[in-house]
Amino acid sequence: MMIQEKFELLEKNKEKALIAYVCAGDPDAGTTKDIVCALVRGGADIVELGLPFSDPVADGPTIQAASHRALDAGMNPDRYFELIASMDAGVPLVCMTYYNLIYKRGLEKFATDCAKSGISGIIVPDLPAEEADDLHTACRKHGIDLIFLVTPVTNEERMKKILGRTSGFVYIVSRLGVTGARADVAQSTKEILSRVQTDVPKAVGFGISDRQQAAEVLAAGADAVIVGSAFVNIVASGENVNEKIEVLARELKSACKEKRG
């Protein structure tokens, strides 16, 4: 399913979106499949599946550790696309990875593999708009959304450029720093939400881990919340993973269903 269709469907139902992240292959490919099912049962509308990279500079300790578990267990781009192709998640799947893995595979081949296996969009945290022309072209050709990030320090000029490029949704980094669960919602979240003027859905991520935070962010005008490290922490704990994942997803999703006006 295309990301845009998903958001249109949610709009009709007066719901907002829960976007969940986990790292593919953590702790192994089979478990990832079960986890995705649990996320979808709990109400995740879009699932981001990390394709692990050896040097994830934009990630905090939680996702770094997940990446290494996955790599140690043998996850690689070939197996990643096999895993995706073998899934029937029923929701749009987004690939989050670092640029060298895409560059090494070849942009054209990477985009083709995404399209063939059932990936709807790509997020590349170390690829700013300035460097993204070639990947943008390859993605467009294969109907893949290339999702860009904006941050509290992105100025108006860059904001315009990025919003002109992003498709599917725009990923709003709500605070300075790396990925990781936090206890509060950043002060900067409201301010940046008000600065992002676009028709593309606005998804806020980095640091959101519970229902209360999700509700705050959505009340401030976001169309979606992105939750990663909180799910990855459950995976790392190794106990009743599917059950706990489903419960957390349901809780977060309930914040997305509150009266929408």
Partner 1 sequence: MKRSMYGKYGGQFVPEVLMPALNELEEAYERYRDDPRFLEELAYYMKEFAGRETPLYFARNLSKKYGTKIYLKREDLVHGGAHKLNNTIGQALLAKYMGKKRLIAETGAGQHGTATAMVGANMGFETEVYMGAKDVQRQHMNVYRMQLMGTVVHSVQSGSKTLKDAINEALRDWVTNVGNTHYLIGSVVGPHPYPMIVRDFQSVIGNEVKAQIMEKEGRYPDSIVACAGGGSNAMGIFHPFVGDKEVKLFPVEAGGCGLKNTEKEALHSASLCVGEDGILQGAHTRVLQDRYGQILESSSVSAGLDYSGVGPELAHLADIGRIKPCNVNDEEALEAFYELSRTEGIIPALESSHAIAYVMKMAQSGELGDLVVVSLSGRGDKDLETVFSLKEKENRRVCQ
Q: Supply the residues annotated as catalytic.
A: 48, 59
Closer to partner 1 by CB, 7 or 98: give it: 98
CA atoms of 44 and 20, how far apart (whole Å): 6
Cα-trace Rg, the chain: 17
Closer to partner 1 by CB, 32 or 151: give it: 151
188 by Cβ neighbours in 10 Å (0-12 / 13-18 / 19+) ranks as middle
Torsion over CA: 8, 12, 18, 23 (sign): negative
- Cβ 150 to partner 1, closest distance in Å? 7
- Cβ 216 to partner 1, closest distance in Å? 21
CA atoms of 238 and 14, how far apart (whole Å): 35
Tokens of 57: 């500079």
Closer to partner 1 by CB, 166 or 233: give it: 166
Closer to partner 1 by CB, 13 or 155: give it: 155
Distances (CA, A) of 95 to 173, 197, 202, 217: 17, 25, 18, 24
Query: Which residue type does 32 have?
Result: T
Q: By CB under 8 A, name the binding residues for partner 1.
A: 53-58, 60, 64, 71, 76-78, 99-105, 125-131, 148-151, 153-155, 158, 162, 173, 176-178
In three-state secondary structure terms, 126 is coil
- Cβ 63 to partner 1, closest distance in Å? 11
- Cβ 51 to partner 1, closest distance in Å? 10
